[in-house]
Chains A and B, each alone.
Chain A
């Protein structure tokens, strides 16, 4: 009983090669798509060649296709494509480069961290971040002084992923960067630290001019878990943005900050149900008996989440006092 071949073919590299030499760029482009289907390492040299095709549409397809493969040769071809005359090809190459996981690629990436184009510098740092190799640390710290904010954001990424205590001063410095994006990334990156300096830097960021940075700072304080930042966090309960007040409530709970109980209780009567709920949750986390009466008033709140959280918080207080 023989009939049709029921399985997907892996493709014939020689046949695809012929199509790659077609004078029609659309045919070459489709050949690139078929190269991906082979899932064979032997397709890489052909893709590398396609990345230098005269037609931008073929180069674009090749830059996309290379993202499906890994290794130093792939990285080299993509690095070349970062300076493509066609912006779409360069963008695609940057995306594919970030998919590289072979740490040996760092050797070809690192020499380009000081490239004249900011787009290239950012793409190189973004690719290095995923590789998590310690050789990237020095260049990344240096890149925190880059004139381009997008490059500095990627540099923070590289440093944050490596989680080295000795880089804390540079990350702390970046929390005062001129760009809000860099400050936000740096505040988040501080989360791995478990020391007072990091907590203080996050506490300072509670008065950042951007609310997103202030909200992130409150979260970082919660993750660092250092009691030294409790008072600034209590002060943030008066922030002009409810989003920041909410993060302050959540993280005071996480820190189990008994000193904050008096400042949290008024939020049980907040107009926003989400804040009432988070206030109740924080008081449950802290489990100080002082909050019992105030919580009891919320057991019949009109919002079911507030009711449930108040009941839960009272049970926490009961269990721990």
Chain B
């Protein structure tokens, strides 16, 4: 049986204009306890790859440029 993908709106958003992942930064990816963030091969910027967010906020707090915003997941809002 094939595996389907169910769409979800992800809570962590990254302002690509501010993100410096393309310069070698991996801070948000490093600090996420659930390990849900990745750097996109396409854009060189950070993004949320897995919808498994505890909305704990180290990614936002530790981002050196203020590029990351953590929203409350929609199911809990």
Cβ B27 vs Cβ A29 within 8 A: no
Cβ B64 vs Cβ A27 within 8 A: no
The count of residues in chain A whose C-beta lies closer than 8 Å to any C-beta of chain B is 8
Measured between beta carbons, the chain B residues less than 8 angstroms from A61 are 64
One of B3-11, B18-26, B32-40, B43-51 contacting the partner: B18-26
Measured between beta carbons, the chain A residues less than 8 angstroms from B27 are 33
Closest CB in chain A relative to B44 CB, distance in Å: 12
Measured between beta carbons, the chain A residues less than 8 angstroms from B65 are 57
Q: How far is the CA of A27 from the CA of B24 in the complex (A)?
A: 7
Closest CB in chain B relative to A35 CB, distance in Å: 13
Measured between beta carbons, the chain A residues less than 8 angstroms from B23 are 24, 26-27, 30
> A32 — nearest CB in chain B belongs to which residue?
B64
The size bracket of the interface on B is under 10
Measured between beta carbons, the chain A residues less than 8 angstroms from B64 are 29-30, 33, 57, 61
Residue in A24, A29, A30, A57 with the greatest tally of chain B CB atoms within 10 Å:
A30
Q: How far is the CA of A57 from the CA of B23 in the complex (A)?
A: 14
Residues of A207-226 contacting chain B, CB below 8 A: none
Q: How far is the CA of A24 from the CA of B64 in the complex (A)?
A: 15
Measured between beta carbons, the chain B residues less than 8 angstroms from A26 are 20, 23, 25
Closest CB in chain B relative to A95 CB, distance in Å: 14
Q: How far is the CA of A24 from the CA of B23 in the complex (A)?
A: 9
Measured between beta carbons, the chain B residues less than 8 angstroms from A57 are 64-65
Measured between beta carbons, the chain A residues less than 8 angstroms from B24 are 27, 30
> A22 — nearest CB in chain B belongs to which residue?
B23
Closest CB in chain B relative to A123 CB, distance in Å: 23
Closest CB in chain B relative to A190 CB, distance in Å: 37
Measured between beta carbons, the chain B residues less than 8 angstroms from A27 are 23-24
Q: How far is the CA of A26 from the CA of B23 in the complex (A)?
A: 7
> B62 — nearest CB in chain A belongs to which residue?
A33
Q: How far is the CA of A33 from the CA of B23 in the complex (A)?
A: 13
Residues of A1-51 contacting chain B, CB below 8 A: 24, 26-27, 29-30, 33
Closest CB in chain A relative to B13 CB, distance in Å: 20
Q: How far is the CA of A30 from the CA of B65 in the complex (A)?
A: 11
A177-217 to B contact mask, C-beta < 8 Å, 1/0: 00000000000000000000000000000000000000000
Q: How far is the CA of A33 from the CA of B20 in the complex (A)?
A: 13
Q: How far is the CA of A161 from the CA of B25 in the complex (A)?
A: 41
Q: How far is the CA of A246 from the CA of B24 in the complex (A)?
A: 56
> A28 — nearest CB in chain B belongs to which residue?
B23
Measured between beta carbons, the chain B residues less than 8 angstroms from A33 are 25, 27, 64
Q: How far is the CA of A61 from the CA of B20 in the complex (A)?
A: 14
Q: How far is the CA of A148 from the CA of B23 in the complex (A)?
A: 43
The 9 closest A-B pairs by CB, nearest first: A26-B23, A26-B20, A30-B24, A27-B23, A30-B25, A30-B23, A61-B64, A29-B64, A24-B23
Q: Which residues of A contact B (CB under 8 A)?
A: 24, 26-27, 29-30, 33, 57, 61
Q: For the A-B complex with A26-B25, A27-B24 known, give 6 more contacts whose Cβ atoms are closer than 8 Å.
A: A24-B23, A27-B23, A30-B25, A33-B25, A33-B64, A57-B65
Interface CB pairs A-B, < 8 A, 12: A24-B23, A26-B25, A27-B24, A29-B20, A30-B23, A30-B24, A30-B25, A30-B64, A33-B25, A33-B64, A57-B64, A57-B65
